[in-house]
Every structure is written in C-alpha cells, then in structure tokens.
Amino acid sequence: MTLTTDSWSFLLVAMLAVPAAGAAVVALLPAARDRQARIVATVFAAVTFLLTLAVPVVVPDEFGWFSVDGVPGLVPWLNLDVPWVPALGLEFHLGVDAISYPLVVLTGLLTLLCCAYTIKTGARALAALLLVLEVGVLGTFLALDLILFFIFFEVVLLPMYAVIAGWGGPDRRRAARKFVLYTLAGSVLLLIGVVTVVSQTGTGDLTGTFPLSRNTQWLVFALFAVAFAIKAPLWPLHTWLPDAHTEAPTVGSVILAGVLLKMGTYGLIRVGVGVAPDGAAWAAPVLAVLAVVAILAGSLICLRQRELKRLIAYSSVGHMGFVLLGIATLTVTGIQAALIGNVAHGLITGLLFFLVGTIKDRTGTGTLDQLSGLRERSPRLAGLLGFAAIASLGLPGLAGFWGEAFAVVAAVQRGHPFWVACGVVAAVGGALTAAYFLRLLRRVTHGPATPAVRSSRSAISAGEWVAWAPLVLLTLVVGVAPALILSGTDLPIVSLLGGGRP
C-alpha cells in the first residue's frame, strides 16, 4: 500500500481529532468546573464546524466550488489514504465529496448547537458525549473504506446509550436498552456483509468496484439493507425510535433525529448501492413497497398520537420513507431526492425537537390535551412551532418540499405502472402529513390556555434563539436554493449506480 494524500487532507483528520480532543479535555476538567467544561465543549464543537466549512474553500481547482464537472467517477474532493494495519491489508481511507459533504456540515452544525444548548442546562459528561458522538458520525460520513466505515458506524452506540440512559425521562433505561439491542442486531448483519465483501474481493475501497457475483450481491445487499434499515430506522424496524425519542433529553433527540438516522440512509446509498448495485436493482421493488407503507403507516400513527415527542418521532418514519423511495428508484433524481431529504429532515426535525423539548420542559408535560393555548402565553414559540410544522409537511419554498417532491417525481419518471402507483400513494401520504401537523398545531397553539401552559415561562432566552435561528434560516435557504445541496452530485451518483466507476 502507498500513502496517498491531498495537500489539504489534514482537514479530514482534524475534523475527527478536534472533537475527540475536546471530549478528553472536558472529561478531565474538575467536576467543580462543570459550566466551564460545557463552554469548552462548545468551543471545540465550533472549531470543528469551522473546519467543515473550510472544505469547499480548499478543494482542488478541478472541482471548484461544489462542482465536479469533467471529473469522472467517485473522486473525493479531499483524500487521505494511508496504511493502517498492513498485515491485514487495512487502510485508513478518508474522503469527502458532494454526496457526503452536506451531511458533514449538518453534523458539525447540530453538534455545535446542542453543545451551546447544554451551557445553560446540561452537564459536563453530556457535552463530552456529544463530542464523542460527533467523532463517530463524522467518521461514518468521511470513511471510504468498508472496515473503517463499520468501526465509525459502531462508535456512536455506547455514547448514545449513555445520553438516553443518563439524562432521559422516567423510562430512559428501558428505551436505551431497546436502542442498543436493535442497533447491535443491525451491527451483526453489517459486519457479516462487510467481511463477506472484503474476503471475496480483497478490498474495502469505496471509491472502486467490487467484482461480486450476482448471487453474492443479492446476499450482501440484503444484509446491508436490513442493517441500515434498523439504524435509519425504516418501517417495520422502527419500533425502538419512538421510545428513544420520548425518553431522550432534548439534545439527544436533536442529534438522534438530525444526524444518527442519516447514517442509515447514507450507508444504504454509499455502501449498499455502491458495493452491490445489482443487488440494489434486485431489491428495488421491495424497498419501494416498504417505503410507501412507511409513509402511510407513519402518517396514520401520527394522527392518533397524544404525546408530542412521540408524534415527532413517528413523523420521522414517514420522512425516511420518502428518502427510501428515492433510493429505491435507483435514478439520479431519486438519489438526489434522498440526499436533500436527509439534510432537510435533519434541519427541520432538529428544530422541531428543540421546540417540543422546550415546551415539555416549561410545561412539565408532553400530552397534547394539556398543551392548548400556547399562542396566548408564548406567541413567538407558537410561531416557531408553526413554521417548523409547515416546513416538515413539505410546504413549497421550504426545505422539506424538495425531498418529497423529487422522490415522487423520480418514481413516476420510471414509467412502469408499479412505480407510478408507488409515486401516487406516496403523494397521498404526503397529504396525510399535512393532516397530522395541522392537527398538532390546532391542539397545541389554539384554544384557551391550559393550566400547564399558563404557568410556563413565555419569553425565549438568548441561548434558545442562538440554537434555533440557524436552523430556521437554513430551512429557508435550502428551500429557496436546493442547488446548495445538490450541485455536483450528478456524476458521483451515476458512478455509485454503476455507470461511471473508474
């Protein structure tokens, strides 16, 4: 193996080293300096976020800003490929391209906002765990080697368990155990798939091709699909999600919905489709059916929910259904729908969990029947909740619209009656999304204020504005200019689908 680096590839290592160092520093600070430790964690998270923003500035000239025109195949903007365990042929291979970069920035942003949120209410250990989670998530999005991808994919397991079990609600330990058991089951399947690919091909390089037989691709893709479906989570493997979200602290729910779920759908694109494109084509109709069922089931379940955080959690099942439908089409438009759907969901649902967590903390309840009249007591908070809700239901001009619309268009463009039917049913599911979010707003913001709402604090603090304003702004910006997410993704997607590998 030879060492291959770009002149600015140290940025990739720095994105992982800075939050790792930050977690260590925060953990070593004395317990008496708890608030100062949370400030230190926020500083490290801010530096990491700035490093993610530096990537487009330093990419080689042939790529340009968010562009890969004329550069064929899966060529990373920045690339670091060095020997790791030579005896086993393992490489420490990191890279970033148009497919992974928006998720890298999203991870840096949400971690920074969550760390800042802990300064006022939180704990030193919680801030340190957020930085450890950032290492695992960023590593997953940057890894271009299958073994390295698996290792980073697993790094998030124990920190997320600790966040839920340590700072969650009354039933937090059961929810954390359920999260771990489901995730471990997916990890076993992912490991079997990774070992199968590496042992048969002798490589784990995600920028190359994998000469696997058709039957092996079917097996490998099935293993990957189930493993990533659990992490996403996709219906019917979603049952750990509502419990985890309901019991997790606010920052835990934001990170879980905003970036951890994206590890599953990103893995399905980068690893599932990239390693076994024939297997993906074989399983595409099944994935489409599961996606459509998820969209409908998620919406119908949300219409019956009486707890605020559980409703938002189940809404993620439907949104991830649109992402899966886009992936299942195996078209450039469909994969682009999945990519922008991932980012939009992270922004909007992250904002929703910030807001509903604040409402629950102020009122002491998450029951819809006890939360009416919010606009009378806190009109600004009610207005922000309304904005996030209409963004999540896919209003044109906001970020949530593009992923759902592109997924439906991609399905219809396939032309076959089966795919047209999937697109039509998904569109109906989108209408149901509007129904349950409008029901949520009617129950929470309208009507006479309940005792729980009347006794709550009405003003929004400066720290809350700092955490929420970037998500509001980006929801508007991505809604108006989706090219910020999608520019330069065409050629990498074609390559992933098997049409342009070098």
**Per-residue pLDDT reduced to its tens digit, 146-170:** 999 999 999 998 899 999 888 877 8
The letter for the amino acid at 449 is A
* pTM for this prediction: 0.91
496: confidence class by pLDDT, cuts 50, 70, 90: confident
User: Which of 50-59, 295-304, 470-479 bottoms out in mean pLDDT, i.e. has the lowest?
Assistant: 50-59
Q: Which helix (H) or strand (E) holds 148?
A: helix 146-155
Beta-bridge partner residues of 145: 205
pLDDT digits (tens, 9 = 90+) for 331-364: 999 999 999 999 999 999 999 999 988 888 888 8
What secondary structure does DSSP assign to 268-324, as a single string? Answer: IIIIIIHH-HHHHHHHHHHHHHHHHHHHHHHHHHHHT--BHHHHHHHHHHHHHHHHH
The letter for the amino acid at 331 is T
Residue 290 lies in a domain: yes
pLDDT digits (tens, 9 = 90+) for 360-418: 888 888 788 888 788 887 888 888 999 999 998 888 889 989 989 999 999 999 888 99
Residue 245: which domain range?
4-496
Distance in angstroms (rounded) separating the CA atoms of residues 125 and 118: 10
Does residue 428 carry a pLDDT above 60? yes
Residue 501 lies in a domain: no
Residue 180 lies in a domain: yes
Q: Which helix (H) or strand (E) holds 344?
A: helix 332-363
Residue 263 lies in a domain: yes
Provide the edge-to-edge strand list for the sheet that holds 4-5. 4-5, 78-85, 90-96
Q: How many CA atoms lie within 13 Å of 9's alpha carbon, on the beta-carbon side?
A: 17
Residue 489 lies in a domain: yes
The letter for the amino acid at 433 is T
Domain tally, the chain: 1
Distance in angstroms (rounded) separating the CA atoms of residues 273 and 116: 37
Residue 463 lies in a domain: yes
- The more confidently predicted of residues 494 and 286 is 286
Residue 502 lies in a domain: no
